[in-house]
Chains A and B, each alone.
Chain A
Amino acid sequence: FEETKAQHSPFTSMAPVAPRSGDVIFASVERVNAELFTLTYGAIVRQLITDLEEVEEVNKQLDQMGYNIGIRLIDEFLAKSNVSRCVDFKETAEVIAKVGFKMFLGVTASVTNWDAEGTCCSLILEDNPLVDFVELPETCQGLYYCNILSGVVRGALEMVSMKTEVTWLRDMLRGDDAFELQVKLLKQVPEEYPYKDDE
Chain B
Amino acid sequence: MGKEVSESCVESLLTEIVSSYGTRFYANKPELAARRIEAIGYQDAGYYYGLVLDRYTMERPRFSDHLEAIKFICKDFWSELFKKQIDNLKTNHRGTFVLQDNQFRWLSHMSIDPSPENSGSTQDPSAMAENKAAEAASMHLYFPCGIIRGALSNLGIPCAVSADISNLPACEFLSLSALN
Contacts and interface: CB of A to CB of B under 8 A. Distances in A.
Interface of A: 26, 29-37, 39-44, 46-47, 51-52, 61, 64-65, 68-69, 72-73, 76, 103-106, 129, 132
9 contacts: A32-B6, A33-B80, A36-B10, A36-B80, A40-B48, A47-B39, A51-B25, A52-B25, A65-B17
B2 A47 contact: no
A137 B50 CA distance: 21
Nearest to A152: B12
B8 interface: yes
A37 B13 contact: yes
A76 to B, nearest CB: 6
B162 to A, nearest CB: 20
B47 interface: yes
B178 interface: no
Dominant secondary structure at the A interface? helix
Nearest to A129: B5
Contacts of B13: 37, 40-41, 44, 69
A52 B17 CA distance: 14
Interface string B99-135: 0000000000000000000000000000000000000
Dominant secondary structure at the B interface? helix
Contacts of B8: 29-30, 73, 76, 104
Nearest to A67: B16
A59 to B, nearest CB: 14
A157 B96 CA distance: 49
B47 A26 contact: no
Q: Which 4 A-B pairs have the closest CB atoms?
A: A34-B3, A43-B44, A30-B7, A43-B43
Given A40-B10, A46-B43, A34 B16 contact: no
Contacts of B9: 32, 37, 104-105
A32 B48 CA distance: 13
A33 B20 contact: no
Contacts of B48: 35-36, 39-40
Contact of B12 (A30, A51, A73, A106): A73
A102 to B, nearest CB: 10
B7 A39 contact: no
A101 to B, nearest CB: 10
B40 interface: yes
A68 B16 contact: yes
B84 to A, nearest CB: 12
A64 B51 CA distance: 30
Given A46-B43, A65-B16, A36 B81 contact: yes
Best-surrounded residue of A36, A46, A103, A129 (most CB of chain B within 10 A): A36
A24 B20 CA distance: 33
Contact of A29 (B7, B19, B40, B83): B7
A79 B36 CA distance: 34
B4 interface: yes
A33 B25 CA distance: 29
A32 B5 contact: yes
Contacts of A32: 4-7, 9-10, 83
Given A44-B17, A46-B43, A72-B12, A34 B7 contact: no
A52 B20 CA distance: 12
A132 B5 CA distance: 13
Given A42-B47, A105-B5, A69 B81 contact: no
